[in-house]
Structure 1
Amino acid sequence: MTPASPLPTRELTVRACTDPVEWDGLVNAHGGHPLQLWGWGQLKAAHHWQTERVVVVDGDRRLGGAQILYRALPWPLKSLAYLSRGPVCEQQDAPVVLDAVARHVSRTRGSVALVAEPDWDAGSAGEQGLAAAGFVHTDGTILIPRTLILDLTQSEDDLMAAMSRTTRANVRKNLKGDLEFRKVASEAELEQVLAIYRETAERAGFGIHEDRYYRDIWRYLGEDSPIVAAFDGGEVVAFVWIARSAGTAFELYGGVNAAGQKARANYGVKWAAFTAMKADGCTRYDLNGLLNDGISDFKKQFAQHEDLLTGTWERPLSPLYPVYARGMPLARRVLQEGRKAAKTVLRQAKGAAGRARQLVRR
């Protein structure tokens, strides 16, 4: 059962949206994030999730909505509901939209909790709306809130000026050289990108999905997920893979092979990604997370600031939430790491589920 809301009662309607054109129109009209686009939901539905899209209506006005991702949990916890860079709404409408979505999830799915990671700044009106809707901040982040977001409404000269001196020199050297920078245009080029990504992951020591996952991004998101690449004689040597809504470009992946490293193509291709998204009409470019690692150090060369988003917020939806919170500390790894982590969580959850059954019998 959804806990009592501190908000005043309003006659809102929550309805399902099954039309991709209507949904993406809603996302783009409200400045929504690309991880709320229809194609991203299709991708997740093809890889061990359930996806639902709902619109929150107040009379004849669409306040916003949410693409909700559900991950099954062991009985009796049912599922965990997740808003990846959602909901989609104006920040002043956040309290009522979030409350309506939470009540819908509780009523129709019985999920143990609703987790939200909006694309809003820390300390913003949207953050206040999360608290007003009964969400509590948690340190168990899924998407990293510390990031670097470029203002693409600036001129190219201003974007260039914000870089470190060495970075500017490397970018300009690339632009004057023989490398070609453009969007990937064929499945054959996509396969070159995947090969470089595997090579990059092995070199840097980070985990990646199987190739089918990335091919499905290409398939389901289409033009909303461009790949900007550096080509040397027709061969891909570096790339940046992006998800894009009307206003926001969100960097998903990047990689460079040995030849690209030698040419320092990772500098030129990053600049090419910025300018391509600016030309496409995006006003923000999110480099997607800063940690204390070499990849983050590279990202930070392209600007002199950092951004902090509001982070991860959670609203309990079930009397079993305390069992979930105590007995499933790895649950968010399901969201972060996918299938492999899901198996780990399910094994760890057996004890929690047993305790929950005892609780229900009492």
Structure 2
Amino acid sequence: MLSIDHVTSRSEWDALVLDLEGNPLQLWGWGEVKAKHGWRAVRLRVRDGERVVGCAQVLVRPLPGVFGALSHVPRGPVVRTGESRGPVCDAVAEHCRREIKGVGITFEPDWPADDDDTITGGVPSPNPIFMASTLVLDLAQDDDTLLARMAKKTRYEVRKSQRREWDITEVRTPEDLDAVLALYRETSERAGFGIHADAYYRDVHAELGDHSVLLLARDEGTPVAFLWIAASDRTGIDLYGGSNDAGRKLLANYALKWRAIHTLRDRGVTRYDLNGLLGEDVSHFKRGFSDHTDELVGSVDVPFSVWYTAWHRALPAAKAVLRRVRR
């Protein structure tokens, strides 16, 4: 019988996630970002006797009326290598059913789709947050191997980008962060997608700390593009990216991606998740960086309440109203 206890120390939690080679979205800082913007973070350690077999950072969102709450485990739980994943998910789900209640819990693990562990009572989520189809680069490969696996056009653009004297630095100052946010606002307006208020991204940068890898590209001293990654000891995952017209014309995104590969590798990261294949232009760009795609388990719901179906039917309409209000 697996047991669960709460971890309330940031250093203890992060040490646990890193020891189990967990995804950066399971680190304390990501939970703190969400806790400042409408969620609550619960950190659960799973034991088999005295032995720790896994952990899960559960984000809890209060819902109106009879719905109560929704629990979400982004890119988790984290399970010790060699342990069965299904029982860890079951223990987390049962704890949340008993202690948090609400309509249910959504797991979005960082596991391959062919994983044969099943989650008791699990059903495919009708409203996933992360995409199951993605591209994960193996950074243990050398440059020649990575280049050889790229599409011909991507390989050409990467090599071409290295002939230019790019000024690419990690963001360390408030002024540089302001430049990044200005680029992101410009990108969202041009491409027609919604973004959070600036305060959200400032919290991401502050709370992730050393686990935030934010690269800013300049051309003749002027910021033109950025790429933002969250990184644990083993895994990096793209969070955000953007550019202005000058950055697009210069194809700065190729130079940034190649720099990101080297920056992560220098940190010891071996998996670089480009975080979902969504949207024709973005997906085409991402797919060019390797000759394969990766299918993860996807979003799995464990319903707790008779109101589960009603909530998920109402959610798309609620999101549409919110988008209209923001516009």
Give the TM-score normalised by the residue count of structure 1.
0.84
Query: Residues 164-313 of structure 1: matches in 2 within 5 Å?
Result: 164-313=151-300
Give the unaligned 5+ runs of structure 2: none
Distance across 2 between alignment mates of 1:50 and 1:14: 18
Q: Cα–Cα, structure 1 residues 330 and 300, in superposed 2: closer, same or farther, change >3 Å? A: farther
Q: Which has the larger radius of gyration?
A: 1
More displaced, 91-100 or 115-124? 91-100
Question: Residue type of the partner of 1:300?
Answer: R
Q: Does the aligned pair in 2 maintain the 1:243–1:250 contact within 8 Å?
A: yes
Distance across 2 between alignment mates of 1:40 and 1:107: 25
What is aligned with 1:150?
137
Residue number among 307, 313, 316 corresponding to 1:329 in the alignment: 313
Q: Cα–Cα, structure 1 residues 20 and 287, in superposed 2: closer, same or farther, change >3 Å? A: same
Secondary structure in 2 aligned to 1:76?
helix
Question: Residue type of the partner of 2:182?
Answer: A
Secondary structure in 2 aligned to 1:200?
helix
Q: Does the aligned pair in 2 maintain the 1:162–1:304 contact within 8 Å?
A: yes
What does the per-residue CA deviation read over 1:3-31, in whole Å, with 9 as the maximum and x for residues that have no partner? xxxxxxx1x32111011111111111112
What does the per-residue CA deviation read over 1:32-61, in whole Å, with 9 as the maximum and x for residues that have no partner? 111111000000000001111011112211
Distance across 1 between alignment mates of 2:166 and 2:317: 39
Report sequence identity in percent.
Answer: 43
Distance across 2 between alignment mates of 1:45 and 1:198: 23
Q: Does the aligned pair in 1 maintain the 2:112–2:296 contact within 8 Å?
A: yes
What is aligned with 1:356?
none
Q: Cα–Cα, structure 1 residues 89 and 333, in superposed 2: closer, same or farther, change >3 Å? A: farther
Question: Residue type of the partner of 1:21?
Answer: S
Q: Does the aligned pair in 2 maintain the 1:143–1:289 contact within 8 Å?
A: yes
The alpha carbon displacement at 1:333 in A equals 8.4
Q: Does the aligned pair in 2 maintain the 1:243–1:249 contact within 8 Å?
A: yes
More displaced, 183-192 or 226-235? 226-235
What is aligned with 2:100?
109
The alpha carbon displacement at 1:143 in A equals 0.5
Q: Cα–Cα, structure 1 residues 264 and 338, in superposed 2: closer, same or farther, change >3 Å? A: same
What is aligned with 1:348?
none
Give the TM-score normalised by the residue count of structure 2.
0.93
Q: Does the aligned pair in 1 maintain the 2:127–2:312 contact within 8 Å?
A: no
More displaced, 162-171 or 207-216? 162-171
More helix per residue: 1
Question: Residue type of the partner of 1:74?
Answer: P
The alpha carbon displacement at 1:169 in A equals 2.2
Secondary structure in 1 aligned to 2:58?
strand
Q: Does the aligned pair in 2 maintain the 1:89–1:97 contact within 8 Å?
A: yes
Distance across 1 between alignment mates of 2:314 and 2:264: 36
Secondary structure in 2 aligned to 1:129?
coil
Question: Residue type of the partner of 1:34?
Answer: P
Question: Residue type of the partner of 1:340?
Answer: L
Q: Does the aligned pair in 2 maintain the 1:156–1:275 contact within 8 Å?
A: no
> Moved runs in structure 1, 4+ residues, more than 3 A?
330-334, 337-341
The alpha carbon displacement at 1:95 in A equals 2.2
Question: Residue type of the partner of 1:329?
Answer: R
Question: Residue type of the partner of 1:293?
Answer: E
Q: Does the aligned pair in 1 maintain the 2:56–2:76 contact within 8 Å?
A: yes
The alpha carbon displacement at 1:164 in A equals 2.1
Q: Does the aligned pair in 2 maintain the 1:147–1:287 contact within 8 Å?
A: yes
Secondary structure in 2 aligned to 1:220?
helix
Residue number among 45, 57, 60 corresponding to 2:47 in the alignment: 57
What does the per-residue CA deviation read over 1:279-313, in whole Å, with 9 as the maximum and x for residues that have no partner? 11111111111124111111111111111111111
Distance across 2 between alignment mates of 1:124 and 1:152: 22
Query: Residues 33-52 of structure 1: matches in 2 within 5 Å?
Result: 33-52=23-42
Query: Residues 47-86 of structure 1: matches in 2 within 5 Å?
Result: 47-86=37-76
Secondary structure in 2 aligned to 1:329?
helix
What is aligned with 1:14?
4
What does the per-residue CA deviation read over 1:120-179, in whole Å, with 9 as the maximum and x for residues that have no partner? 110113xx232xx33222343211111111011100111112222222222222222121
Q: Does the aligned pair in 2 maintain the 1:182–1:272 contact within 8 Å?
A: no
What does the per-residue CA deviation read over 1:103-134, in whole Å, with 9 as the maximum and x for residues that have no partner? 21122122221110100110113xx232xx33
